[in-house]
Structure 1
């Protein structure tokens, strides 16, 4: 009974983070903020899916694939930001 409640609160927190980064992306058009907003939206969907699936459901391990993709997207966003800074400096 408490598991869906906690997953719903986590989804709300992830969406709040996504809206935070989406606001900065709209102001600056920096791709890093766009990637972060997308990642936190994926994590919010992941929390909702975790709340909807039973603990004994065999498909539950697919949730971790989405979470892995989200964290890989964060790593790519940071790498992309550092690569773009290096190109702009000319070195």
Structure 2
């Protein structure tokens, strides 16, 4: 079982990864102005927000919290952007 410090460290690294990935997609969006890249950036930032809130709060069961709705919204944004791109 992971200690609280180890869990917080891993959660922080995951948040940093999500934010950096969002910045990469934002850079691609600035070059091309393609809405799909902006949607990917927003999706990664929402996932990073979810992970940060999960690490900062003491929620025992993640699936039963409102944080799950933020993650669901992030994936809906991504699915809608992919469908619009393929039209």
TM-score in same-fold range (> 0.5) = yes
Partner of 1:25: 29
Deviation at 1:16, TM superposition (A): 1.0
List structure 1 runs of 4+ shifted beyond 4 angstroms: none
Partner of 1:11: 15
TM-score, reference length from structure 1 = 0.82
Deviation at 1:3, TM superposition (A): 2.2
RMSD (Å), alpha carbons? 1.7
Larger radius of gyration: 1
Gaps of at least 5 residues in structure 2 are: none
Task: Say how many residue pairs are matched.
Answer: 82
2:72, 2:33 → 1: CA distance? 26
- After TM superposition, the structure 1 = structure 2 runs for residues 9-88 of structure 1, keeping only pairs within 5 Å, are 9-56=13-60, 61-83=65-87
